[in-house]
DNA sequence: GGGTCAATCGCCCATACGGGGTATTTATGG
DNA sequence: CCATAAATACCCCGTATGGGCGATTGACCC
């Protein structure tokens, strides 16, 4: 059985890391790495037109973040798999990476051997990530403390049905001022700035 | 270095499977399994008061489902880790399990040796799951489909991130007028009257 | 009994929003 | 070749929205 070559592109601003990774990958049987970009903009300009299977994407890029770049590239070429490479493993980065379509999330201290294994896993439909990172991901699913009160949840659901201050106030026998205050508190608790974002976040977190 | 014993409880309605698992686990060095329940109700009545580190929870239980039982138990004793054991690996089960607080999701054909390894992983803060299951999880973060035009979908997604006319217009190099027109068309197509309702409907219909 | 929090009500103010229009260009398809 | 759809751009206008404030009343908790 002949083994297929996996074509890889790298987006990484640190010259040394980028070159090292390129050499390691390109020098390994079954792997080819002919494309490396120092920033998101150049990757955006090229990747869609290249025969690439897997992209290794640094998160901390100058200019557009690796997450933003991944979001845009994934729209252009959804068949390409993205593995995020990063030093930081904070929940927001992980969560956002997966939301924009990344298939894996690895820390930069991953050994070269493991890296190749993980690239292969992604290529074959898996989702490589350390056990620790998997744990963080699954905790993001869980609403430990639903930050919203019952009243707030009730009102947010009404907003999602298209109701405005007045509608809600009338249905709940409240002053529109009160409704407005509740909504402002909802925004504050969800860290959003308007209805659209609030509804989106609330649904994604299964609050409504 | 002396190895600590991990205390395990099992919730599983099939007598044979339950007894087999109990014997395997309790007979292994470093593992203790003194508690086994044939249904969710009996587990709910006892687990919170037992010195248990990890619970193996069958999903298909008579009466309350293992997912529901996990949800309730996790509220009473959040420090206990739950591993779902199941024959089915459908997206909904996986997703729901993680939402209610399970730390791992394993298929029943997992070998005894692997099972012990995975219990240890959970106990040490990991989240064991097969690469395939991990992939299903992350794809649940991302879904695509479209009765709206591409441009409209694109704009709706941006709205769901809290952006306004001006923000969208700038990112897409469009006039705010154009963005507004697109949004009006979105409302018309979705038969909604504002953003909140549009976002809600679009998510429910998996348009964004 | 002081602290915290949810729920309620209020004001001011700038602007984002939604509804009503019209219009051009490009691409697609019958 | 003409109809249709999508994408683009602009106008007017009234109001809903969101931010920044403050305030009172009850629960509940330690």
Contact criterion met (CB < 8 Å) for A200 and B196: no
- Identify the CATH number of the domain defined by range A150-204: 1.10.10.10
The whole-number Å distance from B163's CA to C11's C1' is 28
Check residue A130 and give its pLDDT: 64
Report d(CA A199, CA B196) in Å as an integer: 6
Tokens of A97: 């990476």
Residues A134/B129, Cβ–Cβ less than 8 Å: yes
pLDDT tens, residue by residue, B159-171? 998 899 898 998 8
Is pLDDT at A154 greater than 70 in this prediction? yes
Mean pLDDT rounded to a whole number for chain B: 82
DSSP for chain A, written as a single string: -PPPPEEEEEE-S-HHHHHHHHHHHHTSTTEEEEEEESSHHHHHHHGGGS--SEEEEESS-SSS-HHHHHHHHHHH-TTSEEEEEES---HHHHHHHHHTT-SEEEETT--HHHHHHHHHHHHTT---B-HHHHHHHHHHH--SS--S-HHHHHHHHHHHTT--HHHHHHHHT--HHHHHHHHHHHHHHHT-SSHHHHHHHHHHTT--
Does B150-204 match B6-139 at the fold level?
Answer: no
pLDDT tens, residue by residue, A19-78? 999 999 999 999 999 999 998 888 888 888 888 999 999 988 877 788 888 877 876 777
For range A120-124, the mean pLDDT: 83
Residues A140/A129, Cβ–Cβ less than 8 Å: no
Check residue B2 and give its pLDDT: 45
CA angle, A193 as apex, A188 and A195 as ends, to 5°? 100
CA distance B173 to chain A (A): 15
Which superfamily, per CATH, for A6-141? Answer: Response regulator (3.40.50.2300)
Domain boundaries of chain A, sorted by first residue: 6-141, 150-204
Please list every residue in chain A whose beta carbon sits closer than 8 Å to the beta carbon of residue B137: 127, 137-138
Out of A13-17, A98-102, B88-92, B137-141, pick the least confident.
B137-141
Please list every residue in chain A whose beta carbon sits closer than 8 Å to the beta carbon of residue B54: none
Q: What are phi and psi of A73, to 5 degrees?
A: -65, -40
CATH class of B6-139: alpha beta
Report d(CA A42, CA B123) in Å as an integer: 44
């Amino acid at each position: 059985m002949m083994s297929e070559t996996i074509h890889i592109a790298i987006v990484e601003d640190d010259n040394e890391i980028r070159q090292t990774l390129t050499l390691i990958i390109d020098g390994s049987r079954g792997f080819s790495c002919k494309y490396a970009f120092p920033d998101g903009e150049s990757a955006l300009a090229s990747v869609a037109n290249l025969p690439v299977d897997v992209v290794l994407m640094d998160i901390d890029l100058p200019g557009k973040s690796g997450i933003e770049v991944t979001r845009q590239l994934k729209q252009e070429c959804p068949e390409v798999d993205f593995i995020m490479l990063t030093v930081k493993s904070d929940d927001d980065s992980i969560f956002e990476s997966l939301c924009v379509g990344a298939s894996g999330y690895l820390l930069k201290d991953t050994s070269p051997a493991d890296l190749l294994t993980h690239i292969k896993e992604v290529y074959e439909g898996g989702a490589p990530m350390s056990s620790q990172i998997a744990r963080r991901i699954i905790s993001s699913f869980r609403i430990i403390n639903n930050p919203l009160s019952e009243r707030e949840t009730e009102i947010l659901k009404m907003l999602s049905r298209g109701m405005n201050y007045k509608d809600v106030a009338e249905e709940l026998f409240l002053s529109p001022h009160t409704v407005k205050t509740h909504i402002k508190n909802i925004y504050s608790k969800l860290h959003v700035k308007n209805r659209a974002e609030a509804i989106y976040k609330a649904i994604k977190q299964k609050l409504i």
